[in-house]
Amino acid sequence: MSERQALYEGKAKIVYASSMEDELILHFKDDTSAFDGEKVEQLARKGEVNNAFNAFIMEYLQSEGVPTHFIRRLDARESLVRRLEMILVECVVRNRAAGSLTKRLGIEEGRILEPPTLEFFLKNDALHDPMINTAHIRTFGWASAEEVEAMRRWTMRVNTLLKALFAKANLILVDFKLEFGRFHGELYLGDEFSPDGCRLWDAQSLEKMDKDRFRRNLGGVVEAYLEVAQRLGVPL
């Protein structure tokens, strides 16, 4: 068996080196975690569903002119990506109030946010990913002023594109998280886009079709991801 060196193992993915220095392999695991890794379970097929889902979304975004690290899907659980130098800032856009926003600001879940709101969080497990602002990003050198502006612009552009894409599948894109990185001096969208990192509600029933099913013990997690994938036409 070939021995591969994992460069990094996260909660839901393993990152491997590839034969090309500028490229990496993302391996999507079945592991699903919530609450800073306090709750972890293996959900059969989740890795392959998220790999296919992510490929579909990244290819769509690329076709619409968004620079992404995605190169191609390699097999059921793995994809080839450009090797970015990651920026340790999570960009969250919200079209409806849910999750941490409802707790932090006392806004009722489901309230339509117009215009959509944007938040930044520091990617730091030990500090539990605290919310930060653009001044923090500049002062502590996590990204340049140009990068902050580019992250803001691309995140809002991705929101416009994906809100419309999911609406066609009778789904409300409630919120999602993006991560960016640098590749030869340019900003690229990195990480993944899957129901693990966004909230999706059925447009009529408002049923949750994302990782909140896992966080809230609602059951049928992978079944909901599959339903979303099927509505979008993701080949599985």
Cβ atoms of residues 207 and 218 within 8 Å: no
Token digits for 44? Answer: 């059969």
Binding characters for ligand C5P, 151-190, by CB under 6 A (x = yes): ------------------------xxx-------------
Q: Give me the residue whose beta carbon is nearest to ligand C5P.
A: 99
Binding characters for ligand C5P, 205-224, by CB under 6 A (x = yes): ------x-------------
Number of residues that bind ligand C5P (CB under 6 A): 14
Give the interface segment with ligand C5P, choosing from 25-33, 57-65, 194-202, 223-231 (CB under 6 A).
194-202
Question: How far is the C-alpha of 95 from the C-alpha of 159, rounded, in Å?
Answer: 9
Instruction: Provide, rounded to whole angstroms, the least separation between the CB of residue 51 and ligand C5P.
Output: 16
Backbone dihedral angles phi then psi of residue 164, each to the nearest 5 degrees:
-70, -40
* Separate counts of helices (H) and strands (E) for the chain: 6, 13
The answer to whether residue 82 forms part of the interface with ligand C5P (CB under 6 A) is no
Of 13, 63, 42, which is closest to residue 214 (Cα–Cα)?
Answer: 42
Residues 6+ apart with CB under 8 A from 23: 71, 80, 81, 82, 83
The answer to whether residue 13 forms part of the interface with ligand C5P (CB under 6 A) is no
Interface residues with ligand C5P (CB under 6 A)? Answer: 90, 92, 98-101, 129, 175-177, 197-199, 211
